Amino acid sequence: MAQVDLPLAPPRDDSSRKNLVPQEAFSGRSVFSGENTRIWAKAASGARGDPVLRASSVMESGRAEASIRDKAASSGWPKESDRGRQPRILSPEAFLCNPPSQEEVDLLAEQSRRLEEASAEQIIQWAVEHYFPKLTMATAFGPEGCVILSLLAKIEPKVYVFNLDTGYQFPETLQLRDRIAQRYGIVVDLQRPDLSVEEYERLHGGPVYKTHPDQCCAERKIAVARRVVRGYAAWMCGLRRDQSPHRANAAIVGWDKKFGLVKINPLARWTSRQVWQRIAQEKIPYNPLHDQGYSSIGCWPCTRPVVFGEEERAGRWPGICKTECGLHVQEEQ
């Protein structure tokens, strides 16, 4: 196995079942109603453990990186040498703009409009040019996150990537982390709450997710995310607009009021079908639970498979009126 470079550490403030995908997934026809399609990549399972593909990935990565950088340069986006002339909100010092002025918010909105028709590769390249090394990414190892990680490996694999490990993640999710590291050389950092699951449940007299799921999410995910992103200028996420009503207006680039930094959604315009087509085409590793009917995967106590006709996130927090952990819901909502 090739040597794996560890990602940059976060800056501190002191300065099985058979694959179930139908052929409709690749013919453009929805399996579910609307754009919230349930698509499992039938062809993608062939990527697991493919030594030929892994051996060629290093050469392909170099060629792809050069191509992406050339396209970004030809588009007129700022080069590394132009950083000193960029407004602070478009630089690694963006975290100092908390809260940003209206002019800075408008500038981000303008950048988002300019990037609306850009490819995911170009959006990530734009983010790297403006914010690296104070650019980070959070991932729960969903299919969107795996696609972004595959692109980061070509564009800038030293971006610090973290996962909010609540202690309740599926074993398959944690195993996917190892497969991503083996394939792309990106080691996703597991960021955990101060209290273990056992300590947390003992403190509260039992599983909090059963009685107060919002509190559990706030204390084991959101609080950890606040700690991790402190000092960063921008973070990338795998949101898609068609995932849920809360995400329908997700900008490509915008200010995240909850966490006090710029938020970038490279796949905002993508559909589920597009994500799974990319996974199948490039044999990107993904969570095998998707082949068992899990369309959206979070903590095991709060996730179930979906059935035909349900929306993509219907399996999250079943039985209660909740489909978001709160990471991507602004306070005023």
Please give the positions annotated as active site: 325
- What Å distances lie between residue 158 and 24, 135, 227, CA to CA? 37, 10, 20
Phi, psi values for residue 193, rounded to 5°: -65, 165
Three-state DSSP class for residue 313: coil
The number of residues in the chain equals: 333
Token digits for 322? Answer: 């909740």
Cα(121)–Cα(138) distance, integer angstroms: 17
Please check whether residue 298 is in contact with residue 221, taking contact to mean a CB–CB distance below 8 angstroms: no
Beta bridge partners of 191: 164
Burial per residue of 85-104, b for 16 or more beta-carbon CB atoms within 10 angstroms, e otherwise = eeeebbbbebbebeebeeeb
If one counts every other C-beta atom within 10 angstroms of the C-beta of residue 308, the result is: 9
CA distance 8 to 132: 11
Phi, psi of 96 (to 5 degrees): -75, -10
* Distance between CA atoms of residues 140 and 229, nearest Å: 15
User: What is the separation of C-alpha 188 from the centre of its chain, rounded to a whole number of angstroms?
Assistant: 11
Query: Which tokens go with 142?
Result: 């969903």
Name the token pair of 256: 């995240």
Our measurement of the distance from residue 225's CA atom to the centroid of its chain's CA atoms, rounded to an integer in Å, reads 13
**Residue tagged 């914010």 (tokens):** 131
SS3 181: helix
